[in-house]
Amino acid sequence: MSGLAERLEAVRSGVADAAREAGRDPGEVTTIVVTKFHPESLIRELARLGVRDIGENRHQEAQAKARALADLDLRWHFVGQLQSKKARQVRAYASVIHSVDRDSLVDALRSDESTVDGFIQVNLTENPERGGVAPEALEPMVERVLATPGIRLLGLMAVAPLDEPARAAFARVRALSERVGAIAPAATALSMGMSHDYRDAILEGATHLRIGTAITGNRPTGG
Ligand SMILES: *Cc1c(COP(=O)(O)O)cnc(C)c1O
């Protein structure tokens, strides 16, 4: 994992530069390091370098890592598509679920005992397989989350489509976020921006970046 500290530092300064360019305080942008497919040892190294927010996209892998690294003071972010039947298990270790996108999942996350933070994922493509609610269906989903005990709505999450400039896609999310704000004034956070487009995301108001390879290096297998 040589170069990890250097890559982390490069992203930290890239984030700070983009925030300044946007006239924003870099302190209002949280960088989540997405560590899927990487070993626990890499996450330990990241923790030593001051990283607290870790993202994973598959339940089994995330659960195993959260258990093995329970001695570290980490916040786990679940960023992948989530089956309703796994929802309760995920909320047991995740602080934030970025991929709330279906009625059945919202219902499965209901709890009278504890609260998990959630983003509603919006689908910016025409392909329903990509995960996320269609923009037309956004308001009813916001209403449903607000009416469900046990989930605190933070805002919207999106992945930029490949066939559109990222900045334009993130501007669409920002506009959708204004619609959400009309119903849920506290839900103004924006989870958007990955290794190749985080600068554009910051310029369009991202509060949570999900950055993998720019920090971790290439993933060991697939993904
Ligand atoms: C893997 C992943 C990321 C990080 O992607 P990189 O291109 O490696 O930065 C961000 N968001 C989600 C939902 C992911 O699955």
- Chain centroid to Cα 20, Å, comes to 22
The best mutation among 58, 159, 162, 194 to test binding of ligand 1, ranked by most ligand atoms within 8 Å of the C-beta, falls on 194
User: At a CB cut-off of 8 Å and minimum separation 6, what does 170 contact?
Assistant: 158, 160, 192, 193, 197, 200, 201, 203, 204, 205, 206
The residue range of the domain holding 21 is 3-216
Structural domain includes residue 137? yes
pLDDT band of residue 2 (cuts 50, 70, 90) is low
Structural domain includes residue 94? yes
Tell me the per-residue pLDDT of 95-130, one tens digit each, with 9 for 90 and over: 999 999 999 999 999 999 999 999 999 999 999 889
Dig out the tokens for 36 from the structure: 């899927």
Which of 74, 66, 73, 101 is CA-nearest to residue 87?
A: 101
Dig out the tokens for 121 from the structure: 């994922």
**CB distance 79 to ligand 1 below 6 Å:** yes
Structural domain includes residue 54? yes
What is the tally of structural domains in the chain? 1
Tell me the per-residue pLDDT of 39-67, one tens digit each, with 9 for 90 and over: 999 999 999 999 999 999 999 999 999 99
Structural domain includes residue 66? yes
Q: How far apart are CA 111 and CA 148, in angstroms?
A: 8
Structural domain includes residue 113? yes
Structural domain includes residue 152? yes
Structural domain includes residue 222? no
Structural domain includes residue 221? no
Neighbours of 14 (CB within 10 A): 16
Domain of 48: which CATH number? 3.20.20.10
Cα 96 to ligand 1 centre (Å): 15
Length of the chain: 223
